[in-house]
Amino acid sequence: MKINALDILKEKGLSNTGPRKRILEILIGDQAPLSASEVFKKLEFEGLCHNESTVYRNLQKFLEAEIIQSFTLNDGIARFEFKKGHHHHIVCIKCKKMDCLNLCQVEKLFDEAIKKHGFMPVSHHLEFYGLCKGCSTSPLK
């Protein structure tokens, strides 16, 4: 029942290469969403990948195959995470730690208003910003 990167690649008809497999493993294993450059740094450190383009291209493939999902934070940088159901995130404005919030009753809250504007709702993006426990209790800076 554990999620296996190789199985997913096979299922989606994607060839198994060192960088690709590892990128997927990282996204499967990580609880919080990662930026392309964060993913790359890990691969580079492990000597498994020498180029950011490889990471971008694989992330793009994974998105197309709907293996992962992405969203852009307010800093303008895209984050990628293994595909989960619809949910949102809370980001620490100080240390950038990010958590997933596994709930959402937003649609119904706004549904009427959106239709009043003549729009047919398709999706939405919601991120919370705040201070994590560590950062809100830290006395320094």
Partner DNA sequence: ATTAATTTGCAAGAAATGTGCAAAAAGTTC
Partner DNA sequence: GAACTTTTTGCACATTTCTTGCAAATTAAT
Name which of Zn ion, DNA, Mn ion, none residue 100 binds, using a CB cut-off of 5 to 8 Å depending on partner kind: Mn ion
Distance of alpha carbon 74 from alpha carbon 124, whole angstroms: 14
Distance CA 29, CA 22 (A): 10
Q: Which of residues 91-130 bind Zn ion (CB under 5 A)?
A: 92, 94-95, 97
Nearer to a copy of itself, 42 or 88 (CB): 88
Under the binding rule (CB under 5 A), the answer on residue 61 touching Zn ion is no
- For 41-84, the DSSP string reads HHHHHTTS---HHHHHHHHHHHHHTTSEEEEE-TTS-EEEEE--
Q: Is the dihedral of CA 82, 5, 36, 29 positive or negative?
A: positive
Q: Which helix (H) or strand (E) holds 89?
A: strand 88-92
Q: By CB under 8 A, is residue 123 in contact with a copy of itself?
A: yes
Contact 55/19 with Cβ under 8 angstroms? yes
**Site membership for DNA, residue 32 (CB under 7 A):** no
Q: Does 135 bind Zn ion (CB under 5 A)?
A: yes
Residue 63 touching a copy of itself (CB under 8 A): no
Interface residue list for Zn ion (CB under 5 A):
92, 94-95, 97, 132, 135
Interface residue list for a copy of itself (CB under 8 A):
71-78, 88, 90, 92-93, 99, 101, 103, 105-106, 109-110, 113-114, 117-133, 136
